[in-house]
Amino acid sequence: MDEQLEDVPDLFAPQSQPSLQDAFEQFRQKRIQLNALARKQLQPKHRTPEQLQILRQKFIDTAFKYLGVPYRKCEHPDGSELSTYYIELDCCGLVRQVLYDMEDDLGFKPLFFNQAYQFDTLPLRYDSHDKIKPGDLVFYAGRYEDTFKRPQKHNMVHVEIYLGGNETPEKCIGSRFRKGVVSVFDSYKFHSTAWGLEKMYFCSIDTWLDGVCFSDCPLHQWEQGRIKSLKGSIFDPIGIEDEIANEGN
């Protein structure tokens, strides 16, 4: 009696492959699900309004400690005080340093990435400074004038800390110019010779103040750190260039 052969798949038959668009959508949905799960594990501290205000003021006070710190030490004459300063802070470096200093207060330490990462971790965003408070952040999206320069993720080129005030409602503190230092400015509005402004985002730091610093962006895998770009990849890798501001005002 002939033995009945089991159906064996044809290993040489052409296989249907998902399109790049389908692969990207599957990736995006998976990232959303993973981020949602991770966020559930990052429980907010549920701090009281009074506690949040104390932390907000400390955030501002900590930023003021760095007034006069150079954006880039190498931009100052050899042997000068600024060229030998113990630290240098670009725009996102100032924000990051404040968060480092407040690690014990806030309950987290941010990843070492630039303003695009910081933007991705702040979901409460507005189109005007009228809806934010002192200590919140102003993000600048723009296009580099140098077309050979790699665009930032979300085209996010700059960030400053909003201060406000009755007489100067646009006042802020930040590290704005490569040859400058951390300074207080009467307005967050300014012209950059390095990039053209597309849009400003006014972001609340309430999530940070309540102990949560996590990116929900499905396109940028900040929490996985640096990854190498694969040839033909449709996904946006994280690299060392994402650790610095690189706006060059």
In angstroms, what is the C-alpha Rg of the chain? 23
The yes-or-no verdict on residue 220 having pLDDT over 50 is yes
Name the pairing type of β-strands 125-126 and 137-144: unpaired
Q: List, edge to edge, every strand of the sheet that includes 195-203.
A: 125-126, 195-203, 137-144, 156-162, 172-174, 183-185
State the pLDDT at residue 168: 94
Structure tokens at 141: 């999206």
Residue with tokens 């985002």: 201
Task: Say if residue 189 is exposed, middle or buried (CB neighbours under 10 Å; 0-12, 13-18, 19+).
Answer: exposed
Tell which CATH classification among 3.90.1720.10, 1.20.1250.20, 3.30.930.10, 3.40.390.30 matches the domain 46-215+232-243. Answer: 3.90.1720.10
| Average confidence (pLDDT) over 54-83 | 97
The yes-or-no verdict on residue 20 having pLDDT over 90 is no
State the pLDDT at residue 231: 41
Judge contact between 62 and 101, C-beta under 8 A.
yes
What tens digit of pLDDT does each residue of 142-151 get? 999 998 888 9
CA 103 to chain centre: 17
| Average confidence (pLDDT) over 61-78 | 97
State the pLDDT at residue 235: 47
Name residues whose C-beta falls within 8 Å of residue 230's C-beta, 6 or more positions apart in sequence: 237
State the pLDDT at residue 246: 60
Type of residue found at 81: E
- What is the C-alpha separation between 106 and 111, in angstroms, rounded? 14
* Backbone dihedral angles phi then psi of residue 156, each to the nearest 5 degrees: -85, 110
The yes-or-no verdict on residue 230 having pLDDT over 60 is no
Judge contact between 109 and 103, C-beta under 8 A.
yes
Judge contact between 202 and 134, C-beta under 8 A.
no
- What is the C-alpha separation between 199 and 26, in angstroms, rounded? 30
Structure tokens at 246: 């690189």
